[in-house]
């Protein structure tokens, strides 16, 4: 299939540009250039001045469309979650499993393997968030599921065989040798739900840990005499940090301060989305806990945050409005940065020749009009 997208404002590495056409062939971007040079000889889609952006990539998607991945660790569950999030510009995602029994982890890995083999739209791999966490920073996770990271767990975590595997763990609860082994096996390792000291976190960073899951939330804070996990994250100029920009998880002032400490390109937007995203659900069950959606966020009956009701288009919008970022920077945090974090920066996250044609068409208010995944018009936004 070959087609050309014309009359849009295209976000390239130089910023938003008028007068460009994007030619798509065989699921990839074949050319980006002046319409007179790139647009001839192929069917054209007139974008009517809309914003053409690289597709958003969400590395933390617990659910969507009424589906919680822990409850439906199946290819069908993954497909429903992906369809719900495409309506909001997410063209690549990691279905995310919250701490559970290893038998459920195994089911999730098997389902993701099947989804990848079937080329399910948008599926890039799997995020296993726990159960190798610290009970003192459990958040909404069920601490009865927590366990040590031993050889059997290592074998399971490295068994996907395709796509990307992201594991969130607490470094103080996981031998540093295991972190090193996971990284050497190609697993992306991030710290989260951790009470680690600064020294422990620095040691983990030196042995293969490359990311921080929902920075500031469920981790040891920066204090005057112990920098903690947050201090290690803010000091690091290399590690990636996911942030939930919904105005509920972290005060925007705190995030604006964080952006001054380290390269903005090393931050990435995540949703931590729950089943309510892309559905009209006002409540759901999470491992026996009743979760309700109130004032744009998800809480259990004790007021503990339980993931989010955030979608990626809203996250980008909030990054502009709450954090004072320009649109190209906010979009980069939703596309190129997560792609690079996953080791996919050479094929996803940019509108550039040779890249996969994962694209988002949006209006000036970042309402998503259409999406393409590998050059295929998903129709998710138009019919959602």
Q: Which two tokens stand for residue 354?
A: 């040779």
Return the C-alpha torsion angle 127, 332, 313, 240, nearest 10. Answer: 30
- 222 contacts 232 by C-beta, under 8 angstroms: no
Per the DSSP assignment, residues forming a β-bridge with 16 are 11
Name 93's Cβ contacts closer than 8 Å, sequence gap at least 6. 57, 58, 59, 61, 81, 82, 85, 122, 123, 124
Burial class of residue 119 (count of CB atoms within 10 Å of its CB; 0-12, 13-18, 19+): exposed
Strand-strand pairing, 56-61 and 90-98: parallel
Does residue 13 have an active-site annotation? no
- 298 contacts 304 by C-beta, under 8 angstroms: no
- List the binding residues for substrate: 140, 217-218, 225, 249, 305-307
- List the binding residues for Zn(2+): 129, 193, 214
- List the binding residues: 129, 140, 193, 214, 217-218, 225, 249, 305-307
The residue annotated as part of the active site, out of 58, 100, 246, 272, is: 272
Of the candidates 96, 124, 146, 106, the residue with the CA atom closest to the CA atom of residue 308: 96
How long is the chain? Answer: 384
Residue 318 parent element (H or E): helix 312-321
10 Å Cβ neighbour count for 144?
Answer: 12
10 Å Cβ neighbour count for 170?
Answer: 28
- 125 contacts 164 by C-beta, under 8 angstroms: yes
> Which residues belong to the active site?
272
């Amino acid at each position: 299939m070959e087609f050309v997208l014309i009359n849009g404002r295209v976000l390239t590495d130089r910023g938003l540009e008028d007068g460009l056409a994007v030619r798509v062939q065989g699921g990839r971007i074949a050319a980006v250039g002046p319409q007179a040079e790139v647009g001839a000889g192929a069917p054209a889609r007139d974008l009517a001045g809309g914003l053409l952006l690289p597709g958003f990539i969400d590395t933390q998607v617990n659910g969507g469309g009424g589906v919680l991945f822990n409850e439906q660790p199946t290819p069908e569950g993954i497909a429903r979650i992906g369809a719900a999030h495409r309506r909001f510009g997410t063209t690549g995602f990691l279905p995310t499993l919250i701490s559970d029994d290893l038998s459920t982890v195994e089911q999730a890995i098997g389902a993701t393997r099947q989804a990848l083999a079937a080329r399910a739209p948008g599926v890039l791999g799997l995020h296993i968030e726990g159960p190798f966490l610290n009970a003192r920073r459990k958040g909404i996770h069920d601490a009865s599921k927590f366990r040590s990271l031993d050889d059997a767990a290592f074998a399971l975590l490295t068994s996907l065989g395709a796509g990307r595997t992201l594991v969130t763990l607490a470094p103080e609860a996981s031998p540093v040798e295991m972190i090193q082994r996971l990284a050497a096996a190609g697993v992306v390792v991030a710290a989260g739900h951790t009470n680690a000291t600064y020294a422990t976190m620095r040691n983990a960073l030196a042995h293969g840990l490359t990311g921080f899951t929902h920075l500031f939330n469920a981790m040891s804070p920066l204090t005057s005499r112990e920098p903690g996990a947050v201090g290690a994250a803010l000091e690091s100029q290399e590690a990636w940090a996911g942030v939930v920009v919904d105005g509920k998880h972290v005060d925007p002032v705190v995030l604006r301060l964080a952006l001054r400490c380290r390269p903005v390109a090393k931050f990435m937007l995540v949703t931590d989305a729950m089943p309510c995203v892309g559905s009209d659900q006002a409540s759901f069950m999470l491992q026996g806990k009743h979760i309700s959606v109130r004032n744009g966020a998800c809480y259990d009956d004790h007021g503990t945050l339980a993931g989010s009701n955030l979608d990626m288009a809203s996250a980008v919008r909030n990054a502009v409005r709450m954090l004072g970022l320009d649109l190209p920077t906010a979009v980069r945090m939703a596309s190129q940065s997560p792609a690079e974090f996953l080791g996919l920066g050479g094929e996803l996250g940019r509108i550039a020749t040779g890249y996969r044609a994962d694209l988002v068409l949006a209006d000036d208010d970042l309402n998503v009009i259409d999406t393409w995944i590998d050059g295929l018009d998903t129709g998710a936004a138009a019919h959602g």
